[in-house]
Chain A
Amino acid sequence: MNRRTLVLAAPVVLVLLWLVLYPNLFVLGDSFSEGGRFSLQHYRRFWTSRSEIGALWASVWISAASVVLSALLGVPLAFLFARYQFPGRRLLGALAAMPVLLPPLVGTISFLFLYGESGFFTRGVQLLLGLESPPWRLAGPGAILLVHAYTMYVYFYLFVAAGLSRLDAGYAEAATALGAGRWLTLRRITLPMLAPALGGAALLVFMTSMASFSAPYVFGGGFRVLSTQIYASKLNGEGGLVAVEAVVLAVASLLFLILLQRYEGARSYTGASKGLGPAPRSAVSRGWMLALGAGAAIAFLLLPHLTVLLVSFVPEGSWTTEFFPPVYSLESYRSLVSSPDRLVPVLNSLRMATVATLANIVFAFAAGYLLARRRFWGRGAVNALVVLPWALPGTVLAIALASTFAVHQPWAGQFVLIGSFAILPLAYFIRNIPLVTRAVLASFQQLDPAVEEAAASLGASRVNTLWRVVLPLVLPGLAAGALLAFVTALGEFVASILLYTHRTR
């Protein structure tokens, strides 16, 4: 490793070790110790407790069911938009990917307004059937699944749509030429070739569901999954048990991540030729019908989010029994801006997200350059550490930070940050390391190293090359990553609730 690489690698590795690896090891250590000594007591408690095992099992089956439901929504939608041509196809196709951009908490709240006991949809059904009481309560596993399917179908939709557009039309044409009908071609050719996309989406949904906190927190009630169980144990002050739960959740997530990579490695059909996806079939006679169907589907899928927007214009207390709110005004927005009590949390969110995102930009630029351009010993480990915060559920990360930064032991790299302004931006920063770094890394990888060499051969200094050539060229990737990180940081709920103190809300 030459000196320049070392100078660049040292701070990157230090940040990763201290902020990513160390806190997680800390939790691992906590789970194995009692009163400062090695002990399996917490694990024993976990495995013998009905409620703990119940929560683990609930996490697993909720996640599996979320995969099935998301696939049922996302895959047909992908086929519809990738294979058929109809008016408004592009706009509706883009809208279908929207829910992935919204913070989970907003998505969850929106369901309350729509399908909750006094939600639009519930009232509609109640009015229609003339019932005395709401036809259902939005609670328990069913509600959680509904929210999951609604928000996570996007993974299937995006993966399968991308897979379909890459799929060489030649394969399907070859099958047709051999006399296969449409169903046979779909079953024997198209779907098996989409296996990587389907597998990738399935495991992503699984992992997201395992990590999901907002939906189980809001709708779970007595029904606990692992992530809400962690929160409950934390409130009860059972530190050792919390650590065990976090470890179990982390191990489950990492297992599925490894599975995901194995699966992607084992099956890849890139196609022998540089073929193109089939042109979308033009259904001239049915075009408007398809457009109408697709529009209705998208409207249905985006309904929860539209509801939040609508409700935000309703003055507090003015909407009681009517189907539609009787009054609309900007009062909620006005009070948000005018009363400090409500404005401060918003400003706090913005401020913390900004600080975290700026830190992410600086780190990602250094780490992205290092990973893309330098060969050094331990590069694979750095790469793995960069991805780790994404593989671990937010709950685990928050627990790790809470236990690492609750005591003051500077020589052990521990400082009291709980209760200070720094802890939430720090959590957001760590959480978004993978997102921003991968975005920058991708830009660097697309950037031909010869371009930097060209600048050097023309006499440009390193700083000059960085400023005038490299930065402008990776800026789009950096900006996209940073924007997503900012939005995610604004909407981060689980870290905030677990690390929450009165001063930083």
Chain B
Amino acid sequence: MKKYVCTPCGYVYDPAAGDPEHGVPPGTPWEQVPADWVCPVCGVGKDMFEPES
């Protein structure tokens, strides 16, 4: 599953790890991360993420 990088702060969303502290269980692909989820580091929305190159 593809990882996504937060462009402002560099946080990497890894689907294998998810973000369980904020309600995203491990194994959640990017497409299924809720639309209102925000970067746990800097707080921006999903639209500010890009696929990891």
A binds B: no
